[in-house]
Every structure is written in structure tokens, then in C-alpha cells.
Amino acid sequence: MSGDHRSTTAYKEELLQNSGYSRLSNTQIFEKGNKIILSPAVAENKKGKYWFDVREKIIDKIDKNKPIEVLIRIVPNKFIFTSWDQLKTIIETHTKTDKGENKVWSFEIMNNFTEIHCQKSSDDNLLSVVVANEENVVSNLDR
């Protein structure tokens, strides 16, 4: 991904770890007991829109028998929570982009952070919950 998202990733990882989640190896997957958080890195494109990727090799590492949530941090202080089931519906209905050996689905965050669209087709969208501050994120992580 282009853009410098290291500080965003470090902040998000610290927030998740402070809530008791541990990172699965060097992935976008965090676990706590019977719960999983998929938290892809976000980048801002040249037009000022935010986007993220979900890679097939990451999906393959997720334990599908556990409840899965998706947490996306958009700098400086916006977070989006959505369910894996909603994101999976979009993934299952769209052709993935081949980037070498990696199968990738790219998503754009739109409409004041309330919708996530597959970049291949913005006809299908996923409504998301915007969590505006750290305290709300922590309470959502603990539910």
C-alpha cells in the first residue's frame, strides 16, 4: 500500500493490545479468547479518499469458527467497526484482483465513512458503524 501508515498501524495495534488482543504473527489479525479482529491498514489516495485491501492469504489464516469483527482506523480519530459476515458477502460476490501470487480485494470508504464499497463495483455497499474516539473503540472491543 502506498502512503505512510506506520503510525496508524502502531496506534491501532497498541489500542488492541491494551484491550487484551494479541496479534497473530505479522498479520492484520488480532485475537482475544474466542474473538477475532481483522484490522487492515488504511491508506489515503491522491484524491483524499481512503481505501484498504483484504488479501486471500490473510483470510485463509482466520479461524472461521470464532466471531470475527472488522476494525478500520482512519486517521486521525475515526474508527469503523463492521462484521466479517457483511464484508465476506462483498468478497464472495466480486472477482478478486490478482497481484502476482496474491489475491486481493480492494475497498474504498465513502459517504462520510458510512459505506464501504468494493473498488471493482460501487453498486454494492456495506453500511458501517463509525466509532469516533478511543473510548468507544475500547467499549466495542470489550462487548
Domains in the chain, number: 1
Specify if 113 maps to a domain: yes
25: domain range?
A: 6-141
Specify the pTM: 0.82
pLDDT digits (tens, 9 = 90+) for 76-116: 677 888 888 888 888 887 767 776 777 888 888 887 777 78
Q: How far apart are CA 53 and CA 61, in angstroms?
A: 15
In this structure, the chain runs to a length of 143
Residue-wise pLDDT for 31-61, tens only, equals: 999 999 999 988 888 888 888 989 888 999 9
Residue 46 within any structural domain of the chain: yes
Residue 122: give its domain's CATH number.
3.40.1350
Looking at the domain assignment, is residue 40 inside a domain? yes
Contact yes or no for 117/107 (Cβ under 8 A): yes
